[in-house]
Structure 1
Amino acid sequence: MRIYTTYSVKIKHYSHIFKDTVAIYRRVVDYLIAVCIDKWDTVVTFKGQSRLTYIESLVHATKDNPSPEYDFDLRFYKMPSYMRRGAINEAIGKVSSYKSNMANWKGKPSGKEPSYPRAGYVFPSMYRTVMYNQTDDYAAQIKVYVRNTWDWITVDLRKTDMDYIYRYCKNRRQCAPTLQRRGKEWFLDFPFEESTTLKEASIYDKTIVSVDLGINTAATISVMRSDGTILGRHFCKLPKETDSLMHSINRIKKAQQHGNYKTPRLWAKAKGINHGIASRTANYIMDIAVLYNADTIVFEHLDKNGRVRGSKKQKLKMWRSQEVQSIVTNKAHRLGMRISHICAWGTSKYAYDGSGMVLRGKAGGFNTYELCKFQSGKIYNSDLSASYNIGARYFIREILKSLDESSRLAIEAKVPQSAKRSTCTFSTLISLNAELMSLAA
């Protein structure tokens, strides 16, 4: 598979000179969107690069095409060719998305009608040799709109950013950078492409790392085999970072109580601490996966959409579970490991030994949700029990998928809990393996 990563390099000493370039590029995209919509019935008859060639023939005059249908060249004089083609591709993509969304909406109307496509906050790609040239390790030339014409300027690139690229990205293929603005600063975003091969192994030979991400305990990890063998149990707790985050949030609360609702610096600090927690959690998960030479890392499919209510809503909103999973996914794929997600419903609700629902918090007589009480009276770590269930659900799903229809139905008749994935627990996996052994015998 191919992996794409992007690294930002700050442009030094410039803050306003690129505004005209971006403004013109966005006007060009808006103009080309109107052209694409006007000619869409013809555009859809072409495929791939032919679409770009057709739109370009409508707007750009050449020796073989002296009189194009639209006055693009008059409106946007001396527009660089590669920037024009990048804008055409941008416009085709936006119109294609708009047309498909409109067709879906007309087939099943729900909510508002899709809005007319606009350029929005797009930024231009600086294609090599014609828009971007690397002149030094820490300097480059880019073509921008300056002094009422398109001309080259030399920009200085931040040394630390470029050193990072030279050190860690030297074996990756570098693609054309994109000019980007973040706040009041400008950057060149360098995309990199690399190829990797994911591990191929039988489900019965796999070692997985099942991860239960939490708010109090950053991550609870169980290393499992398909027969239910637990190779390791690990807890990632970041009390110092969590305490620092809560301190920053309390400072924001205190400022708001005194009427200061705009606190960008305090929020920037809190977000930075939160990002650090996500990065440390992801690195810990990857360290465990590498330690056990895992084939797959299994997460819960966590849906955080919708309104959050209750006394813990701020903690839930600050919880960076999606960022942790994203970081782990990028790192794991680079090492050839696979990522899988299972249904999150009931993983903490049901005891791993199959005894039923657990009692947590005050219902179980605890002041914390880290512990739970089983129906049998056993007291156990609730996140650890959930991690067992997460790994078990992954193995149950993959084992049943690997069987033929008759074998699968026979197994489900013997182990009916395996047919409903949202109630499967670690005990279900043990029962499933016992039935597999009896069928093999």
Structure 2
Amino acid sequence: MKTPTKVIRTDKWQLNPTPEQKVLFGETVKVYRRACRFLIGIIYTHWAELACLTADQLTPAVERLMHETAKRPNIKYPQFNQAFYKFPSYYRRAAIAFAAGQVSSYVTRYNEWQAGARKRRNASPPKLNTDTGCYPALYKGQCYKLHGFDSAKPTLREQLEIKVFNGSDWVWTTVQITGLRERHQVASNKMLSPSLIFNERACHLSVPFSCKPEKRKPEANVTAVDLGINTTATIAVVTHSGTVIHRKFIHPGRDIDRRDKRLKSVSVRASLTMGKGGKLHKGFCSLTYQKCQRINNQIGHVVSKRIVEIALTFNSEAIVFENLKGWKPKGGRKRSNLRQRFHGWLKAKIRDFTEMKWSELGGKVIEVVAAYTSKLAFDGSGKVKRDSLNYALATFCSGKQFNADLNGAYNIGARGVLKLVRRNDNEGRSSKSSGRPPRSWACLCDLWSRDSLRLA
């Protein structure tokens, strides 16, 4: 029996601290990071005997080295209790877990480097980074308490009580929660220990949830997605009998124009900087590229959300994408911007974001062979001709004109249905009947013929 995949998703809960609370949060993060640096040194020194322990065994083993108690007055590193007076036990255990993870990662990477797993022959060895930008993990009841929190009636009146460091002692402070998501309203979701994220730009709780999707009873249809250049996503909902019950074009043109306008400004600034020759310095226009990356993330989330909404509306069995892994763009005509447009094609981002959202609802994403999805007509009439002036338009052998992306979405949906129906995946094999293309090149008409044979 296949074990269900564990789905972890994280919500951001916005906080509204006062200026005094911001100072307290800053002190708390600072002392927590100091404790992590201290513990990394201890754990790395004794890693030979700690490496073989499980996570539950490692924490008490480290505490025996540095945490003094009445039953354990003699410890090897009494400096920790002296430097971190009244350090809360659950903050200490969270810091131990983080420090052990840092040391384990470093040791693994160093062993791989010693074994010769290097990108370059003269690659420098990895370094143990003790100055990490970590944030304190909060344990319920010991580090944080929620007041006025009702999952059945979510409001913006929830208050959060956090144990913070005021410079000399650990005290409780109450802060307002001003923004919530909806994952806490799902009864099957389990809230895990959040982290307090505080810096110059942000103040919020990063709240992970262990999501347990409910068992679905889907309808006999799939949601097929054709990712393109002219249209970001073309969607078709195809039933097992080959009937298209829904079509949709998704193209956030405004966000794409904002991104392309910024990228165009980079080439203008580069020409002004270099002139006819020269070299750009490292990090040239890095802020512009970061902004474009955030716009791409926004586009990916908007498109993937709408895809999942359609699949949920029609209770689809699966969402079907083309397998475009390893696909590389070919250059267009001279002085054309086709290559640049392909670099802005968010095929992997949209697919990954869709799978994250859909798997949380208990659905599955499948991939089909991408060859000839747009080249073959969905009605089985053969290859299509693309209009040289309007590449989004396809002409069938019968003379009928059709949207090329929508034609591709129909064929993707047909291949997805056949892949679900045939439990043993036959993609890549040739059909036994002569004159037929490989089964992975199936078109929508193959579902029609299959349905008619079944009815006969």
Paired residue total: 421
Q: 1:391 to 1:9 in 2, by over 3 A?
A: same
Q: What amino acid is the match of 2:142?
A: V
Mapping of 1:386-397 within 5 angstroms? 386-397=408-419
Over residues 341-369 of structure 1, what are the superposed CA-to-partner deviations in whole Å (9 max), with x where a residue is unaligned?
3455664466657788766xxxx442343
Match of 2:95 among 87, 94, 101: 87
Deviation digits for residues 92-143 of structure 1 (CA, Å, limit 9, x no counterpart) = 2233334444455555623146623425222111222222223563433322
* Mapped partners of 1:182, 1:279: distance in 2: 25
- The amino acid that maps onto 1:124 is P
Distance 2:331 2:39 in 1: 45
Q: Distance in 2 between matches of 1:34 and 1:133?
A: 32
SS at match of 1:134: strand
Q: 1:18 aligns with which of 12, 16, 25?
A: 25
Partners of 2:118 and 2:55 in 1: CA distance = 31
Identify the residue that residue 129 of structure 2 maps to in structure 1.
Answer: 118
Q: Alignment partner of 1:46: what SS?
A: coil
Distance change (3 Å), C-alpha of 1:342 and 1:144: farther
Contact 2:414–2:447 under 8 Å retained in 1: no
Counterparts of 1:151 and 1:308 in 2: how far apart (Å)?
61
Select between 111-120 and 246-255 the one with higher mean Cα deviation: 246-255
List runs of 5+ in structure 2 lacking aligned partners.
1-5, 149-156, 274-283
- 1:340 aligned partner: 366
Choose the corresponding residue for 1:7, options 12, 16, 20. Answer: 12
Counterpart of 1:425?
441
Q: State the match for 2:276 in structure 1.
A: none
Per the alignment, residue 206 of structure 2 pairs with 189
Aligned amino acid, residue 221 of structure 2? T
Separation in 1, partners of 2:47, 2:375: 52
Q: Which residue of 2 aligns with 1:38?
A: 45
TM-score by length of 2: 0.72
Single out whichever of 174-183 and 372-381 deviates more from structure 2: 372-381
Mean CA deviation greater in 53-62 or 114-123: 114-123
Q: Contact 2:241–2:448 (CA<8 Å) still a contact in 1?
A: no
Q: Tell me the amino acid that sits aligned with residue 216 of structure 2.
A: K
Do structure 1's residue 215 and structure 2's residue 229 form an aligned pair? yes
2:322 is matched with which residue: 297, 300, 312?
300
Query: Percentage identity across aligned positions?
Result: 27
> What one-letter code is carried by the residue in structure 1 that aligns with 2:304?
A
| CA contact 2:109–2:126 (8 Å) conserved in 1 | no
Partner of 2:279: none
Cα drift, residue 296 of structure 1: 0.8
Q: Distance in 1 between matches of 2:137 and 2:327?
A: 33
CA separation of 1:182 and 1:214: change in aligned 2, threshold 3 A: farther
The structure richer in helix per residue is: 1
1:18-70, Cα deviation, whole Å (9 max, x unpaired): 33332332333233333333333322332231122222222222233322233
Q: Distance in 2 between matches of 1:432 and 1:55?
A: 66
Distance 1:420 1:56 in 2: 63
Q: CA deviation at 1:417?
A: 11
Given the superposition, is the C-alpha separation of residues 431 and 287 from structure 1 closer, same or farther in structure 2, using an over 3 Å criterion? Answer: closer
SS in 1 for 2:163: strand
What is the distance in 1 between the residues matched to 2:251 and 2:413? 21
CA shift digits 1:379-427 (9 cap, x unpaired): 5433223323433444454555437xxxx69x75616999978xx3224
Paired amino acid for 1:78: K
Q: Any conservation in 2 of the 1:228–1:426 contact (CA below 8 Å)?
A: no
1:66 to 64, 73, 77: 73
The CA deviation at 1:370 is 1.9
Cα distance in 2 for partners of 1:156, 1:248 equals 37
1:261-410 paired onto structure 2 within 5 Å:
277-303=299-325, 311-312=337-338, 315-316=341-342, 318-342=344-368, 344=370, 347-348=373-374, 364-372=386-394, 379-399=401-421, 401-402=423-424
Q: Where in structure 2 are the equivalents of 1:48-63 lying within 5 Å?
A: 48-63=55-70
Distance 1:328 1:231 in 2: 21
TM, length-normalised to structure 1 = 0.74
- Which of 153, 168, 191 is 2:173 aligned to? 153
Does the 8 Å CA contact 1:210/1:221 hold for their aligned counterparts? Answer: yes
Indicate the SS of the match to 2:365: strand
Do 2:11 and 2:183's aligned partners in 1 also have CA atoms closer than 8 Å? no
Equivalence for 1:414: 432
Matched, 1:236 2:250: yes
Alpha-carbon spacing, 1:13–1:388, altered in 2? closer, same or farther (3 Å): same
Structure 1: runs of 5+ lacking an equivalent: none
Compute the RMSD of aligned alpha carbons.
4.6
Inter-partner Cα distance in structure 1 for 2:52 and 2:245: 57
